Chains A and B, each alone.
Chain A
Amino acid sequence: MTRPRVAVHKFSSCDGCQLAFLNLGETLLQLNEQVDILHFLEAGMNDASADVDIAFVEGSLSTPDELTRIRQVRANSRYLVSIGACATSGGLQALRNLDGNHDEWRDAIYARPEFIRTLKEVRPIAAEVRVDLELWGCPVSSTQILAAIRALLFGVAPVDDRDRVCLECKRQQAVCVMVTQGIPCMGPVTRTGCGALCPRFGRDCYGCYSPSETAQTATLARRFSGLGLLPDAIARRFWLINSQAPPFLQTGRVFHRSAASDPDD
């Protein structure tokens, strides 16, 4: 029996989600006994056009070339899994979509902007091709990756845990930073998966795993306001790593606007 074939593709990103593979330690060698890794540039495998069973895609789409590449990846893959915030929501760099001033930014940074070919907006993978499974997180963890491979190889639907960080926090018996210290924590509206890392470290969750199910963002924003945050600061809470995820985008926009109309300047 041939082993299932796997590819790891990189688009616009920091390389951090690929480390979920490279940081596996000896498990990486065991994984290789169970699957055939055909394409993974950073690890030294180079066969971008290979037909595979599972393609993992890191990064967002931000150039015309990347649009062509992702269509090819889709055509060559049985399952396409987007890994991390960039691939699933556009990530931190999608902040440039909010201002709509990409051209100006590019011209400010590059002396020869005519050589920089980029799309006006950063897009998640699913904006261009069908995605079979989205793994959220900035970064995703090795556990998420291995669980996804296992589920797909067994032909079962992977568990899509959209619970809140808040619930994980309670399970871990961490002290609530918002209730006890008045810190504006995004835990009530953020998807679990990190193990409630930030609250356990005594700090605010900053939403890197994207919106949870039924995220009550407007309610949380009002709570932030009650804690003394100005509208601009509230907008910044929602417009960070997953600014393009609809509930965060929407609530950020409400408070960004209200900050803009504030007469305090």
Chain B
Amino acid sequence: MTSRRIRIDVPALTRVEGEGSLRLEVRQDQLIELGLSIFEPPRYFEKFLEGREAEEVVDIVARICGICPVAYQISALNALESMSRQMASPWVRSMRRAFYCGEWLQSHALHIHLLALPDFLGFENAIAMAERHPNMVKRGLKLQGLGNALVRLFGGRSVHPVGARLGGFHHAPAPDEVTALADRLKAAQQDAGDLTRFCASLPLPDDPQTFICVALHHPDRYAIESGEIRTSTGLNLSANQFEQHFHETHKPDSTALWSDLDGQPYLTGPLARLNINHPQLPDFLLTRLGEIGLELPSCNMFHSLIARALEIELVLHEAIQLLNDYTYPKSPYTALPLEPGIGYGMSEAPRGLLWHRYELDEKGLIRAARIVPPTSQNQARIEADLHHSLTTMGLDNGEDVLKLRAEQVIRNYDPCISCSTHFLTLKKVET
């Protein structure tokens, strides 16, 4: 056997949100070193939230992530509003779900078409892919645009929307705007179904792995904007129990922290959600599962692509229902007085569980904040997956083949590196 040594350096990963790099070293067909580095500079959101009023939090945390600002706003509102004796109105709760559906739709459509599909169809990027597959790319951009339109309906703009507030929304959309958008969403359902079939028809690698799934679960509906944690290991946890089981550590080569569930890596995101909550899918999607032959739970990470497509169909369906039932409210919010203390809240960002904790003082100012974003939760899982996938595929493969597979594996998690980096509080060790 000849001695072979390759070193693969991907100094800047493309088609992910934010910036990270990958380092691999193979010596005599053994994986000697593997490191996913996140080197986004920290922005210290948790620190400058301190001393801010509770009302200001939604506009600040939106800026953690340009791709999933709604997720940050809703997790923060869930945490802060838990410190009130009253609840937001049923109208507000429904409309927050509709608002959030818009974010899933735009984020998933962007991920599938602009970030993931070029890998599977053999293009460097979606723009090059559009020259050969114009209709497919246009279909994706249209779905993404509809998601943005839904976020705009409630938020005024799709990036850092301005509509959400404590107790509800600043503004209720006019009924004719709602009806017009509902009609456009209905017209896109056929496209969304075609997208799922298309994703399922791709020759995705078949590489089963064992991993723990973590997702929110809600007794009445597929969890998006609210729910309790459920794990494939059988745990059921509320937001205030999160810290008893999930821990973060800091590794030298990253500015993002790593999370574990009682010492184990775990998966959060579309496939974890689908694995845990698939019995709650509407009937037409249960039929779709049969049609495309997807058996759940799935332990093939490449099914994340199909999971996103199915969730696009789901949120279109959900948003149409919610908008069909739309009534113009007397007031788009309820004033919710908050009491001092600690509030915990979470929701399912497009790429997974997003947990917040705020401590509020007697003056209504934030005393401490802690935010755990999905990508830092997935980091340990991504590394475990890379180890497994590359070894299974065969380390004797060429450098380009290994590099492409490694990038595909990483993109399956739709990592949002910008938002994974910027919070993360560890207890300060006093010496």
Size of interface on B: residues with Cβ below 8 Å to A:
72
Complex CA gap A138/B12 in Å reads 25
Contact of A111 among B41, B127, B134, B250 (CB under 8 A): B250
Q: Are B145 and A12 in contact (CB under 8 A)?
A: no
1/0 contact string of A179-217 vs chain B (CB within 8 Å): 000000000000000100110111100101000000000
Q: Are A16 and B69 in contact (CB under 8 A)?
A: yes
A145 within 8 A of B: no
B170 within 8 A of A: yes
Q: A43, A63, A208: which has the most chain B beta carbons within 10 Å?
A: A43
Complex CA gap A208/B62 in Å reads 12
Given A15-B418, A16-B159, A96-B44, also A48-B141 (CB < 8 A): no
Complex CA gap A238/B117 in Å reads 44
Given A41-B12, A66-B41, A93-B43, also A15-B17 (CB < 8 A): yes
B298 within 8 A of A: no
Nearest to B423 among chain A residues (CB) is A109
Contact of B14 among A13, A42, A93 (CB under 8 A): A42
B255 within 8 A of A: yes
> Which residues of A, 88-110, contact B by the 8 Å Cβ criterion?
91-93, 95-96, 102, 105-110
Q: Are A115 and B253 in contact (CB under 8 A)?
A: yes
Chain A-chain B contacts (Cβ-Cβ < 8 Å), number: 187
Q: Are B162 and A203 in contact (CB under 8 A)?
A: yes
Residues on A with beta carbons closer than 8 Å to the beta carbon of B399: none
B174 within 8 A of A: no
Given A108-B428, A109-B47, A197-B157, also A15-B42 (CB < 8 A): no
Nearest Cβ distance between residue B370 and chain A, in whole angstroms? 10
Residues on A with beta carbons closer than 8 Å to the beta carbon of B289: none
Given A23-B158, A29-B127, A202-B171, also A41-B19 (CB < 8 A): yes
Q: Are A111 and B66 in contact (CB under 8 A)?
A: no
Given A12-B41, A44-B15, also A37-B127 (CB < 8 A): yes
Residues on B with beta carbons closer than 8 Å to the beta carbon of A13: 66, 418
Complex CA gap A240/B126 in Å reads 36
Complex CA gap A241/B43 in Å reads 13
Contact of B429 among A29, A111, A138, A236 (CB under 8 A): A111
1/0 contact string of B157-182 vs chain A (CB within 8 Å): 11110110100001100000000000
Contact of B42 among A22, A116, A240 (CB under 8 A): A116
Contact of A115 among B14, B110, B252 (CB under 8 A): B252
Nearest Cβ distance between residue A70 and chain B, in whole angstroms? 13
Residues on B with beta carbons closer than 8 Å to the beta carbon of A139: 66, 157, 159-160
Complex CA gap A201/B168 in Å reads 13
B156 within 8 A of A: yes
Task: Given A14-B65, A41-B14, output 18 extra A-B contacts at Cβ < 8 Å.
Answer: A16-B159, A19-B66, A22-B114, A41-B12, A41-B13, A43-B126, A44-B125, A92-B48, A106-B44, A108-B426, A109-B47, A111-B249, A116-B255, A138-B63, A139-B159, A197-B157, A240-B59, A241-B63
The 5 closest A-B pairs by CB, nearest first: A16-B66, A44-B125, A93-B43, A201-B171, A111-B250
